Amino acid sequence: MKLDIPSLSEAVATPAVSPLILVVEWDETHREFLSASLRAWGYEVISAASGAVALTLCERRLPDIVLCSWAMTGLSGLDFCRAFRALSEERRGYFILLTDRPEGGAVARALDAGVDDVLIRPIGPPDLRAQVMAGERFLVMQRELTQKNKLITETLDVLRQVHALIDKDLIEAKKFQQSLLRERYRAMEGGNLSMMLRSAGHVGGDLVGYFPVRPGVVGLFGLDVSGHGISSALMTARLAGYLSASTPDQNLALTLLPGAAMRPAPRGR
């Protein structure tokens, strides 16, 4: 199974585009001044004389930055800001409120309503441009954060797929390890033999078993390879092969005697 790993460089490589700025100002002179200044700096600008008209424009195309007068007939600047925020939960434009002289606590109310910043008139071109550039930086950071969050989500999806594949392999490895314990119970002369193998995880480095030595005598073994996982289980399986009952002549714990008889191998072999 081929897995496409998301790339951080690709996630943030989307080129930035010039933001769309909406100017909402009931005074035509101020509205034209703001619009002309912004266009002269290379921005795409749309304008409206009221909050109602501005909402209609936003429904057609959501602006990136909004310059809005606080005092307007119909929808006030704060009311329009609340309506603007309700248009999209995913995209959050930068909202600048324009006012002549805010009363005590007015700025706090504006921020509570979703306004990002407040500009006090008269607004000079340097202040206006600085504030719009701050909005641009906000949009860039928001775009990068959104893309990085998307990257994290995609990476988590890939990791889930990888973990699912590993889990599938571990389950198969567990079945293989359990198959090495062919007889869990055997009735013998003089007693019964019962064995159980249960790993702490899927697979581990533990294994138990037995092999016949001669009539009335059996050899028992318990293997414990350091570590956990498939590598330890494979090592255990390989060691168990040297203690096999099916090939006693290759069993390291047995010594072949003349006449094909077997006896336990001496210690230290």
Output the pLDDT for position 137. 94
**CA pseudo-torsion sign 245, 249, 252, 255:** positive
Mean pLDDT taken over the chain:
82
Going from N- to C-terminal start, the domains of the chain cover 8-151, 182-264
Residues 74-102: tens digit of each pLDDT: 899 999 999 999 998 888 899 999 998 77
Contact status, residue 77 vs residue 54, Cβ threshold 8 Å = no
Residues 134-164: tens digit of each pLDDT: 999 999 998 888 888 888 988 888 888 888 8
Domain 8-151: which CATH class?
A: alpha beta
Is 48 exposed, middle or buried (CB count within 10 Å of its CB: 0-12, 13-18, 19+)? buried
Q: Give the Cα separation of 81 and 180 in Å (integer).
A: 71
